[in-house]
Chain A
């Protein structure tokens, strides 16, 4: 219980900071020539980067971009994946074959590879990274929803609803989705961490937001160039990313434990 509370606290803190970043008087691109690479001090908690920009300001705006991508990508993937999975299992036949094939095909590309290739083809920008993550991210939800619906379809309450002539969308909404929602929500919780890391990884490789727009991955990459003289450039964005992902994972795992403990 304690660990979950801590995880929720960490996540709320970071998400709150990211949300507030839009209203704070931040100067992510303001250059202080006399402060280049200077270490953390009062007034600049995280120091200045290689161009003399405040790391803390850039970190908050980078975080905001990460959370924005996650807030768009995860719901889109979860909803579309659930719809594809439920309909595939429900109707079966050719549509199911097609969906299962598409899922297998997407999963044949390990890890970030497909998102990487798509983002590279579409060109470097935050929107294209989000698009690439959406195009590849729905499969996990679809596979889960499909497997669960296949089992549910034969259950008596669903059979009864079908016999009574309820239209399929109503059956899904009232009798299928409520029962498969819990595992999907857990998957989505863990997915938030996954999407944030994926976005940072793609920006690390230079595929995300274009400079000077701040991003966690880009800050980590730039930080590696100055490790010897200014390790804070590397530590700050990495630690933020690590804390967020650890908190999200902890919350997801604790939800999972609660669901399957019963």
Chain B
């Protein structure tokens, strides 16, 4: 177990350092002079020199990188070019909204996918299974930036049940969470169906049936529990899609999270804020995947041995 833990932590640390370096290099990808792009053409030379110095762009690359990493270790990501506030503070302000949206979207996805996956595994090859497969195909193919506005059109504009956008009360959370959750529900339902079918022929299920246990107990305590591991892994991986998708979903609904901040930073050419947002989302993703791997390793010896082999 310790060996597995150390390996996984080392891997996460290596990826993290790579992510930090890549995000650091982002500003150097800006064609031409990033300072000119950020300030616009009307800026005078003194302003440009000041910003260049403030961003450290007048120093050698290695010194800039060291400065960036040293800042990150002190939770200092620089200041926004637009609001002139500390980026770390802006992110701290926006993170709870994104975390809330992601958590509710995961719940929505689970609420949709658990019954669907169970039904389609229970009635394999029959019409409920085909219906679920159809739903999954639709849910995967519909882009969130179309689904979201269509939901707004139906539930907010036509029916008037829910607010169009913003963050006012629990009702405003429904449509964004649904938009994100529907996309996530399709792969979850598929993987749950597959892993339920895999455990269906295991001896422990036959034994449980032979003992005459009620089918609800068999399903919940024996089948679902053993089928949960692949679902958890996929959930961890899909959480990435969720965080990436949050950028678009938050923009549709003007949900004040990190994703919306990312897009605002892009539109304002506020590259330091963009760097901060991208870094935060990527690091959360790396951390969550590490946690999922560790949990799976804790629950299942086979995962541990496969990983350290």
- Does the CB pair B266–A197 fall under 8 Å? no
- Does the CB pair A242–B243 fall under 8 Å? no
> Interface residue count for A (Cβ, 8 Å)?
44
A104 at the B interface (CB under 8 A): yes
Expressed in whole angstroms, the Cα–Cα distance for A117 and B247 within the complex equals 11
Known: A113-B244, A206-B267, A249-B140. A120 touches B152 (CB 8 A): no
- Does the CB pair B143–A238 fall under 8 Å? yes
- Does the CB pair B271–A246 fall under 8 Å? no
In residues 73-116 of chain A, which contact B (Cβ within 8 Å)?
A: 101, 104-105, 108-114, 116
- Does the CB pair A108–B18 fall under 8 Å? yes
- Does the CB pair B244–A111 fall under 8 Å? yes
A217 at the B interface (CB under 8 A): yes
- Does the CB pair B248–A118 fall under 8 Å? no
B251 at the A interface (CB under 8 A): yes
Name A7's closest neighbour in chain B (CB-CB): B137
Of A220, A237, A242, the residue contacting B141 (CB under 8 A) is A242
Could you say which interface size class chain B belongs to? 35 or more
B146 at the A interface (CB under 8 A): yes
Name B265's closest neighbour in chain A (CB-CB): A120
Q: Which residues of A contact B286 (CB under 8 A)?
A: 108
Of A105, A200, A228, the residue contacting B15 (CB under 8 A) is A105
A187 at the B interface (CB under 8 A): no
- Does the CB pair A123–B262 fall under 8 Å? no
- Does the CB pair A231–B137 fall under 8 Å? no
Q: Which residues of A contact B141 (CB under 8 A)?
A: 193, 242, 245-246, 249
Expressed in whole angstroms, the Cα–Cα distance for A107 and B244 within the complex equals 12
A223 at the B interface (CB under 8 A): yes
CB of B209, distance to nearest CB on chain A (Å): 30
In residues 233-291 of chain B, which contact A (Cβ within 8 Å)?
A: 239-245, 247-248, 251-252, 262-263, 266-267, 271, 274, 278, 281-282, 285-286
A134 at the B interface (CB under 8 A): no
Q: Which residues of B contact A201 (CB under 8 A)?
A: 143-145, 248
- Does the CB pair A113–B252 fall under 8 Å? no
Q: Which residues of B contact A104 (CB under 8 A)?
A: 11, 14-15, 18
Q: Which residues of A contact B146 (CB under 8 A)?
A: 220, 234, 237-238, 241-242
Of A111, A122, A204, A205, the residue contacting B245 (CB under 8 A) is A111
A164 at the B interface (CB under 8 A): no
Q: Which residues of A contact B31 (CB under 8 A)?
A: 122-123
Q: Which residues of B contact A133 (CB under 8 A)?
A: none
- Does the CB pair B244–A227 fall under 8 Å? no
A57 at the B interface (CB under 8 A): no
Known: A201-B143, A201-B145, A227-B149. A117 touches B278 (CB 8 A): yes
CB of B283, distance to nearest CB on chain A (Å): 9
Stretch with Cβ within 8 A of A (4 or more), from B22-30, B57-65, B92-100, B218-226: B22-30
Nearest 9 CB-CB pairs, A to B? A111-B244, A110-B240, A238-B146, A246-B141, A110-B244, A121-B29, A105-B18, A120-B266, A245-B141
Pairs across A and B, CB under 8 Å, 5 listed: A110-B281, A112-B247, A224-B149, A227-B152, A235-B150
Interface residues of B (CB under 8 A from A): 11, 14-15, 18-19, 22-23, 26-27, 29-31, 37, 137-138, 140-146, 149-150, 152-153, 157, 239-245, 247-248, 251-252, 262-263, 266-267, 271, 274, 278, 281-282, 285-286
Interface residues of A (CB under 8 A from B): 101, 104-105, 108-114, 116-118, 120-123, 193, 197, 200-201, 204-207, 217, 220-221, 223-224, 227-228, 231, 234-235, 237-238, 241-242, 245-246, 249-250, 253
